[in-house]
């Protein structure tokens, strides 16, 4: 999986990393059971500090996306709590849709966007 970091972004490096890995799972670039690189190797590859990678992995663990295993490293292990996931998504969508509403974005346009984005995930 190719990982690119924008050091000029206002988004924290560990969050960019977390987002990239979530995208990788959603697009099936990586699958349940696959191992991610060790914190040290990935840090070296990208050219960042070990702790920054560790922080991204810790967030993903907290979110129930990976399982941290000694020796096997970080393993994709999806802990499916759908009610929790729907609640999280609802809270995040709420603000984004409200802003769109201020900009006259219609319900239909949001549906189209969702359709369009879901093409990536299969």
Q: What is the DSSP letter of 85?
A: H
Does residue 25 bind DNA (CB under 7 A)?
no
Nearer to DNA, 51 or 111 (CB): 51
User: Mask: binding to a copy of itself, 16-55, rule CB under 8 A, as x and -?
Assistant: ---x--xx-xxx----------------------------
- Using CA atoms, how far apart are residues 9 and 106, in angstroms rounded to an integer? 29
Instruction: For residue 64, give the nearest of 38, 83, 92 by alpha carbon.
Output: 83
Stretch that binds a copy of itself, among 1-9, 34-42, 49-57, 87-95 (CB under 8 A): 87-95
Q: Which does 91 bind (CB under 5 to 8 A by kind): DNA, a copy of itself, none?
A: none
- Using CA atoms, how far apart are residues 13 and 19, in angstroms rounded to an integer? 10
Stretch that binds a copy of itself, among 34-42, 43-51, 58-66, 67-75 (CB under 8 A): 58-66
Neighbours of 98 (CB within 10 A): 9
Residues 6+ apart with CB under 8 A from 89: none
Does residue 80 bind a copy of itself (CB under 8 A)?
yes
Q: Give how far the C-alpha of residue 94 lies from the chain's centroid of Cα atoms, to the nearest Å.
A: 19
Does residue 92 bind DNA (CB under 7 A)?
no
Residues that bind DNA (CB under 7 A): 10, 12-15, 38-41, 48-52, 54-55, 57-58, 68-74
């Amino acid at each position: 999986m190719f990982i690119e970091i924008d050091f000029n972004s206002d988004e924290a490096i560990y969050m960019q990393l977390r987002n990239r890995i979530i995208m990788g799972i959603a697009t099936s670039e990586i699958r349940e059971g696959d191992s991610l690189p060790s914190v040290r190797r990935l840090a070296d590859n990208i050219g960042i500090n070990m702790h920054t990678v560790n922080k991204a992995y810790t967030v993903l663990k907290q979110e129930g996306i990976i399982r941290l295993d000694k020796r096997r490293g970080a393993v994709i292990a999806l802990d499916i709590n759908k009610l929790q996931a729907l609640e999280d998504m609802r809270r995040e969508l709420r603000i984004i849709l409200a802003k769109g509403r201020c900009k006259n974005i219609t319900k239909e346009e949001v549906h189209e966007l969702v359709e369009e984005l879901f093409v990536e995930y299969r």
